[in-house]
Structure 1
Amino acid sequence: MSTPWPPIGHEKVDWVPSGRPTVGLRAEPLRAVVFEAAVPPLIHDSSPAPSAEVAALAEDASLELTRFDATLGGEVAAFAPLLLRSEAVASSRIENLTATARSVFTAELGDERKRNATLIAANTRAMSAAIDLADDLTRASVLTMHATLMASDARHTPGALRDEQVWIGRSSSSPVGAEFVAPVSSRVPALLDDCLAFARRDDLPVLVQTAVTHAQFETIHPFTDGNGRTGRSLTQAMLRSKGVTRSVTVPVSAGLLTDVDAYHRALTAYRAGELDPIVRLTAEASLRAVANARRLVDDLHDVRASWTTRVTARSDSSVWRLLDLLVHQPVVDAATAASRLSLAPSNVYPLLRRLVESGVLKQKAEYKLGTIWRADEVLSALDAFAARSGRRGEATALS
């Protein structure tokens, strides 16, 4: 049985409506009402103690994450960006932001026509920023993650803590009767600093510490939007800073996608003082993510092997390096390919043409982007990874 964890408290707060009209509704009444806002406990000196069963599961999952990171060996440099992008896509899907792999890669080349794909591309950049800041788990680093994530969202202030009340559920115009009402904004800076002080400790089991940090962060809800995606970026930064992963981003969010309702129930249980649900869910999500990521890597190896049988060239031809690039960057324009291969653009076109003729690539003129080339077999493997993430019972076996 787990040791009790301090539950959140509550405080009564006056809600004074703005009086502004709400979408599709008449103006809010100006009569002040009272609601209850959460008062999370300070946790920086607390020691979480889940049940023995859940603690053992978390330790197994932590070791499995480390094992997967190590098994990629010399392929780490190539697979790391692809796995990071897969985590960003999965984290976005939890917020109901979905897009095909093709749309996301095209957005990264500058196509802004599909909003979801553009937001997911921003989430990829936020994940990357989180990894770069893994050794600096402070308020400043979290603000940088959020600023990167929300840079193109004019409705919110990127990289700034909220100065207004936020809540989840029921009415969009009032926190009265909401499922969860976050702490008042004046409490946010101290609560966030306390949460990150807990995250920096080096005397706790890492996956337990990571799960608790994430749940506490989501309870604080420090931003007006982007809390979930920023919090999951922080999770990846913690795994890297603690040495659980050293080179790759294991798509843990993909594991959470198997049961998003359970994820939200675990956060609710945490706020009531129960540790086991969020720790168990994080551990199980990590195990599912590793199994799913291994299958993705195997699928991509198969794709690359099939290309070798279709392409004929001298052993020193740059076409082989282009094939290696396409496994991990399956949508390119000529400038991107040339830059990544350190070739002049004029020398890339013949290589791209050869791969179109071999059936490896398809070519298309995109609005405002010019001509792009895509490797559909890689994109299909990535979409299959995303589909497995959202189905119960898939990708659970360890190998």
Structure 2
Amino acid sequence: MPYTVELHWSPPNTAGLSRKDRASGTYHAYVPDELPLKLPTLSPEATAAADEAALILARLDERIRSSGSRYLNHLLIRSESISSSWIEGNRLSPKKLAIAERLQHGDRVALDVIANVRATEHAIDALSDPVRQVTVADIVDLQHAIEPRLEPGLRTEQNWVGGPGNSPLRADFIPPPPSEVPRLIANLADFISCTDGNPVVRAAITHAQFETIHPFIDGNGRTGRALVHTVLKRSDALRSALVPISTVFAADTKAYIGGLTAFRRDPADLSAWVASFAEAAERSAESAVHLDEDIIALDQTIRTDLVDHRRSIGKSPVQPRSGSVILKILDRLAREPVITIDSVATEHGVTPAAAHRALVELAEAGILRKTKNHKGKIVCYSADRHLAYVELTEARR
């Protein structure tokens, strides 16, 4: 049975705190049960919802593998990471993220999300082998990739979630004391390592248990959502794509928090949480299908735009030659929506002059947009129509 621990709080430093936050007092930290490795029995409704979600995810995976959308997963990862950052309260446009990633500099939020992108990819690639036993060290490494400024390791102090101030006495939820974290996170690693049963159910419980433990000082939300993809990949539910489930959570954070609260009730309402999670997975799959269709259509449109532009200026041939640098650029816009003269020259093996000519032509055709720095110098070119599709949360509301 879960239980609470009564602890005393006295702020270590009262400087700059409000009167209420300077107060000392007792609070109750929640300690969840360890998870049995076998999945629990759920209500018929929750079971049916999870089964349907697993089937829809499998169909999505097959669709993407057969559609030839080579860069869809790359876009989905970026959409997922941006939405995950929105849940944390960090608003960031896909264009700003892509520019920071290409130029390797930007503001803190952009760099944080880039770290989250890489961590999500790490979760899929490094932890997806179902034969591999997931360890506490793996989860620590994943969080450190997301929050590289922090020293790696489980937390050694009390943290809390939400509330109007800077004190556990006013928090919405207080995770277990740090002394309980190693035991609970080791159990969770064992739970993630198992692949039997419905993967949607296992992913839902993994995420909720991780957020309940809240084992790190920061980065818990993003790490917990990355673990969702780890579980789905390990179970072979998804082999070719990542479902942008954070886009659904970000669109309705009240429902998301409410679901986690239901999970922490005594007794826990597992069925309500799993049913809610399954619905989010289905909606995520629908978003991924729409994105697949949109990108295929957009890639056809921009090729038509290029031909129309070349015809309008009397350029011959109106169809670029097969293997030309301009077609190579178009082929990779979904994966590389921000490019520079140097990146095109290096990645496609052409001279800077040839790269510049191709980029200027694409900009004149309205396919790329120039981005300048504060001195008016062009620093990169961006495929804004591709980038707009990454922002699935706003696009699908």
TM range (shorter): 0.7 to 0.9
Which one-letter code corresponds to 2:193 in the other structure? Answer: R
Relative distance call for 1:224 and 1:357 in structure 2 (3 A) is: same
In structure 1, list runs of 5 or more residues that go unmatched: 1-5, 392-399
1:286 to 259, 278, 281: 281
In structure 2, what is the equivalent of residue 234 of structure 1? 227
Residue 282 of structure 1 deviates from its aligned partner by 1.4
Alignment RMSD, CA only?
Answer: 2.3
What does the per-residue CA deviation read over 1:160-218, in whole Å, with 9 as the maximum and x for residues that have no partner?
21111111233544312432111001111110010111111233211101101110000
In structure 2, what is the equivalent of residue 63 of structure 1? 55
Assess if the C-alpha contact under 8 Å between 2:75 and 2:334 holds in 1. no
Moved beyond 6 Å, runs of 4+: none
Q: Equivalent residues in 2 for 1:242-281 (5 A)? A: 242-272=235-265, 273-281=268-276
In structure 2, what is the equivalent of residue 381 of structure 1? 389
2:16 paired with 1:22: yes
3-state SS in 2 of match to 1:315: coil
What does the per-residue CA deviation read over 1:204-237, in whole Å, with 9 as the maximum and x for residues that have no partner?
2111011011100000000111101000001111
Find the aligned partners of 1:216 and 1:363 in 2 and give their Cα distance.
45
Relative distance call for 1:186 and 1:370 in structure 2 (3 A) is: farther
Assess if the C-alpha contact under 8 Å between 2:87 and 2:250 holds in 1. yes
Residue 380 of structure 1 deviates from its aligned partner by 2.6
In structure 2, what is the equivalent of residue 190 of structure 1? 183
2:207 to 205, 211, 214: 214
Greater CA deviation, 341-350 or 231-240?
A: 341-350
Residue 84 of structure 1 deviates from its aligned partner by 1.0
Which one-letter code corresponds to 1:377 in the other structure? Answer: R
In structure 1, what is the equivalent of residue 138 of structure 2? 141
Find the aligned partners of 2:154 and 2:345 in 1 and give their Cα distance.
41
Relative distance call for 1:142 and 1:342 in structure 2 (3 A) is: farther
3-state SS in 1 of match to 2:252: helix
Assess if the C-alpha contact under 8 Å between 1:22 and 1:28 holds in 2. no
1:165 to 158, 165, 173: 158
Find the aligned partners of 2:124 and 2:75 in 1 and give their Cα distance.
14
TM-score by length of 1: 0.88
In structure 2, list runs of 5 or more residues that go unmatched: 307-317
What does the per-residue CA deviation read over 1:346-370, in whole Å, with 9 as the maximum and x for residues that have no partner?
4322221221222211223235995
Percent identical among aligned pairs is 32
In structure 2, what is the equivalent of residue 3 of structure 1? none
Greater CA deviation, 80-89 or 251-260?
A: 251-260
Relative distance call for 1:72 and 1:53 in structure 2 (3 A) is: same
Find the aligned partners of 1:25 and 1:132 in 2 and give their Cα distance.
48
2:354 paired with 1:347: yes
3-state SS in 2 of match to 1:327: coil
1:50 to 19, 34, 42: 42
1:362 to 350, 369, 373: 369
Which one-letter code corresponds to 1:348 in the other structure? Answer: A
Relative distance call for 1:344 and 1:201 in structure 2 (3 A) is: same
Greater CA deviation, 112-121 or 218-227?
A: 112-121
TM-score by length of 2: 0.88
Greater CA deviation, 175-184 or 213-222?
A: 175-184
3-state SS in 1 of match to 2:39: coil
3-state SS in 2 of match to 1:329: coil
Assess if the C-alpha contact under 8 Å between 1:321 and 1:341 holds in 2. yes
What does the per-residue CA deviation read over 1:91-113, in whole Å, with 9 as the maximum and x for residues that have no partner?
11111221111111011123644
Assess if the C-alpha contact under 8 Å between 2:195 and 2:234 holds in 1. no
Relative distance call for 1:345 and 1:80 in structure 2 (3 A) is: farther
Assess if the C-alpha contact under 8 Å between 2:161 and 2:172 holds in 1. yes
Relative distance call for 1:12 and 1:141 in structure 2 (3 A) is: same
Assess if the C-alpha contact under 8 Å between 1:146 and 1:158 holds in 2. no
